[in-house]
Amino acid sequence: MLKPWINPRSKFYWFRRRIPKACRRFGMPAEIKFSLETTDYQEALFRCNEHNLKLERQWQAALVGTPAVELSHLQITALAGEFYRDTVAARREDPGHRVDWEQSLARIDDVRSRRMLSSRTWRYMYYSDEARAYLQSRGINLVDEAFHKFIEAFVEAKAFASKTLLENAKRNYEPDKVEARYPDYQPPSSWRRLEDLWPQFCEQKLIAKSTAKKWRPYMEEVVRRSGHPDLGRVTQRHLLDWRDSLLAAKRSPIGIKDGHLAAAKSFFGWAKRAQKLATDPSVGVFVEVNAKHKKKLRKEMRGFTDKEAKVILSAALAPMSKLMTKENAAARRWVPWLCAYTGARVNEITQLRSSDVLKVDGIDCIRITPEAGTVKTGGQRIVPLHPHLVEDGFVAWAKRKKPAPLFYSEARQRKPDRQNPTYASVGNKLAEWVRKDLGIEDPLVAPNHGWRHRFKTVARKVRMDPEVRDVVQGHAPRTQGEDYGEFPPEVMLREIEKLPRYEVAAGKRRDRRRRDQKTYRAAANS
């Protein structure tokens, strides 16, 4: 059994496995590894084996050449019924000699009576080729446990067909009672699968990539609990049982309400309105959240103190390690300062491109736009730069850059379309630097989001106009009236200039990870 991998650079357990040579293509890495997004070992073990099984099916399907499908017990039984009907219909007019069907039944009984190996093993050895050929004639590929289950149903149907044709050979054509035991087979193409509907849902509902990444595993849990890949078979009972199992596992009721159930309600509501599904099974599925739950969850998050802000900004001015890429060095140098003077979300800064540093009405500004990456509000905004940033050379440095992202290299991206964007990884590295290297470990201050809290606090102290403050930070208007009109850069700059300058000196380089690596290499060479 594959076990979760402990990644020393992450707090989460990871999935890690080598790719079989037969499935590897030119340019592919030798192994697959990604975060399982959990610190709980049992949950990580479960997710690890779920992903491993999915990969096994994909690899097996790639080798066979036909995409693998997942069939329920009902569908496997119905498919075996199709084989039964086809076999009987093909020979009903002329069943041949009774001895042929007697021998067929004798072979099946002989396989079933074997004791040296399990009956399942014998069925596989004698009938796997025949079963596989029938599936291929229908354009169906089953792998792993699904194929074993089909062989069992296939052999049973073959025995029934032999008995029926034996009776026909004896001139007994009584109404077929066996056929009635098999349900009608519905091909997988008629199923409403998550992998087909999910991209449509995200596109039509304009779901942010970060939200889609968080919600997709929740919907996969729903599919697993229903026991069938067809979303049309998900019922309210499935969702209620899912909710109860989450509560029994002592998950936060608020987390269930705002995460798991929010995903299910949004998806199934859209599917019903778009006529993708006949019903919305999430109607009437709720979780009670009382004041006790809210009080337990609530944390009074704070911004960086004056001392903490100076530590970070001073370290940003320090000499950078030569082992760092120039993009990572630039991120450490400029991102904290940009966050300090704009109050922007860190990923809104790390996704900036050189073209997003521009003049508007003669004022140096940055443009935060969904074209560069994710913007929580979904809209574009122009933010004037504090004069201190201009004097320190940020604008001049950005203009010397080629038309490309400022803080990461597109050429070095292994997977440009990966779920976790590169600019988000840059933000995570900065957070790790603040926590581990600079020693700011207070759980009530987020290593990146602390700048947004601090900006709001400082803006209140200097009596910055509240409307301008919210526009600069990308917060939604508090009233409908505030949504009218525009905020020219000169109006915003006048308020931004009220922010006091951060007068700090360059500190010493503090990079524990690089120093540890150097110490390790020295010890290894000694």
Other C-beta atoms within 10 Å of 466: how many?
15
- pLDDT of 30 reads 74
- CATH number attached to the domain at 191-297: 1.10.150
Helix (H, G, I), strand (E, B) or coil at 108: helix
- pLDDT of 271 reads 93
Taking phi over 0 as left and psi of -120 to 50 as alpha, with beta for the rest, 474 belongs to left
- pLDDT of 45 reads 87
The predicted model scores a pTM of: 0.54
**What one-letter code names the amino acid at 320?**
M
Arithmetic mean of pLDDT over the chain:
83
**Residue where the block lists tokens 């009972």:** 237
pLDDT digits (tens, 9 = 90+) for 149-191: 898 899 999 999 999 999 999 999 998 889 889 998 877 767 7
Q: Which of 295-299, 318-322, 426-430, 447-451 has the lowest average pLDDT?
A: 295-299
pLDDT digits (tens, 9 = 90+) for 43-54: 888 888 877 877
Q: Which of 183-187, 209-213, 412-416 has the lowest average pLDDT?
A: 412-416
- pLDDT of 406 reads 93
- pLDDT of 377 reads 61
307 Cβ partners below 8 Å, 6+ apart?
A: none
pLDDT digits (tens, 9 = 90+) for 71-102: 888 889 999 999 999 889 888 899 988 898 89
Report residue 457 as tokens: 């606090």
pLDDT band at 62 (very low <50, low <70, confident <90, very high): low
Other C-beta atoms within 10 Å of 59: how many?
17
Which of 161, 68, 114 shows the shortest CA–CA distance to 124?
114
Task: Return the CATH fold of 311-517.
Answer: hpI Integrase; Chain A (1.10.443)
Which of 143, 147, 128, 132 shows the shortest CA–CA distance to 68?
143
- All structural domains of the chain with their residue ranges: 5-64, 73-189, 191-297, 311-517
* Residue 488 Cα distances to 409, 445, 479, 495, angstroms: 33, 33, 20, 12
- pLDDT of 314 reads 94
Residue 218 has pLDDT above 80, yes or no: yes
